[in-house]
Structure 1
């Protein structure tokens, strides 16, 4: 399985994904699930993927080849850099998902498998503000708002409480990245299908280039400190609350 988080902030974007894939307890692999495309000064796009790995990799390959001019359609709908808005770019992701389903969907169904894939897509084009979308396996999508500034896909339930309690669109990038990593820490402790390393990307609004990416592994000193201090803080907060009178 997997866990991915994307957050839209006034100051930009925070995007993160684990790298574990499972096909049973004895068949565990590591695959990248965070992808980005950029033309500095023009546009930045970031995609997080969850679900059937063959499906998500096919979608990413179509987008990559299209953006490099190696895979063209009559309407150019697979080239992200022809999009004038992030909404148009999100529609291109949706179209790529449906194109893959048109080729593979029937064969998956006949083999007893569902067409399962989901995506978090964010970025910025020109002077338009950064935007963030949750794209479903049907190719349709919803957009993040001030009221709901984050999306999760995959094994999201263990990492959701801290996001529900703390996430705000006016957070600084560093604080939001810290919160997202704590969400991963909670998930890692409770779900073996999610695992290190974590790919983390932060994008600063209006820079129109990707400058900050990090792969967080088992020995990452910041993540180890964060996990330890969060555990201590939770235990301290718990002990400081008055016990139930029984």
Structure 2
């Protein structure tokens, strides 16, 4: 498995990918998931992949060489949208070639990709590609895409990143998102590839491969964990069965009539399952014919 995230911001683009493909007690595979297609001064495009490795590697290679029936390639496409269409066409070509053979061995045609960048004359654009070759584009309401093991790293991005977020701050958020994923899922692993693209530079100017020895990423891992724990400990514990006039940290009050769903034991067991204490309220109300 893998985790990749990309963000489209007013200032440019952020791309981050891990490099793990298999995880187990005796087998861990490492393959880089980020590929750059670049003609400095004219275009800079990034492709990140998740899913079946043989499929994604085939797509990556063919994308670099493919020419459509009307003579278009990613190297001369007029817009990023046109380039994304070419990537989608390549995914369909690989599917037509390999899907049936894979199916005979019980393997699904499974691949997902993030494709983004900038072509001279237009703004930065970002797309999420699917196994069918179709895609969606990032707009102002959705500033980022994730593929792979996305759930662990999503909350921090949702809370922090907006279109106006500076590139370095977005990179920091992406690394925290990745750290959260690394901690919770063994199928995601180092090293990481991080690329920061500033709008209109039309070339890669900031890129780093991050391993266990990277000082900044180690600082992120240590500081984020400590700060999370400190914030957690600063939040008061809930108050149960609070007095009616209580207003702070009340989770339940003495007047609360909340009840769990209960299943009583069959009478043949001879067990008295009458709820104890304050939780009797609803049962007593029912016995008295009250409504709740």
Q: TM-score range by the shorter chain?
A: over 0.9
Using the TM superposition, give the Cα deviation of residue 229 of structure 1 relative to its aligned residue in structure 2, in angstroms.
0.7
Where do 5+ consecutive residues of structure 2 fail to align?
241-292
**C-alpha distance in structure 1 between counterparts of 2:150 and 2:46, whole Å:** 19
Q: Report which structure shows greater RCO (CA 8 Å, sep ≥6).
A: 1
Counterpart in 2 of 1:4?
Answer: 4
Match of 1:125 among 108, 116, 119: 119
TM-score by length of 2: 0.80
Partner of 1:195: 189
More strand by share: 1
TM-score by structure 1 length?
Answer: 0.95
* Match in the other structure for 2:266: none
The structure having more radius of gyration, on CA atoms, is 2
Alignment of structure 1 residues 1-246 onto 2, 5 Å? 1-22=1-22, 24-66=24-66, 72-77=67-72, 79-246=73-240
Aligned residues: 240
Q: Aligned pair in 2 of structure 1 residues 60, 188: CA closer, same or farther (>3 Å)?
A: same
Give the Cα separation in 1 of the matches to 2:224 and 2:125: 30
C-alpha deviation, 1:27, in angstroms: 2.3
User: Runs in 1 of length 4+ with deviation above 3 angstroms?
Assistant: none
Cα shift readout 1:110-142 (whole Å, capped 9, x = no counterpart): 111100000000000112000000000000000
Structure 1: runs of 5 or more not aligned = 67-71
Provide closer, same or farther for how the CA distance between residues 146 and 228 of structure 1 changes in structure 2, counting only shifts above 3 A. same
Residue pair 2:8, 2:144 contacting (<8 A) in 1 also: yes
Cα shift at 1:167: 1.4
For structure 1, which segment, 18-27 or 115-124, has the greater mean C-alpha deviation from structure 2 after superposition?
Answer: 18-27
Given that residues 2 and 20 in structure 2 are in contact (C-alpha distance below 8 angstroms), is that contact kept between their aligned partners in structure 1?
yes
Q: Is the 8 A contact 2:115 2:127 kept in 1?
A: yes
SS at match of 1:82: coil
C-alpha displacement of 1:24 = 4.8
- CA separation in 2, counterparts of 1:158 and 1:241? 22
1: CA distance between counterparts of 2:215 and 2:143? Answer: 28
RMSD: 1.2
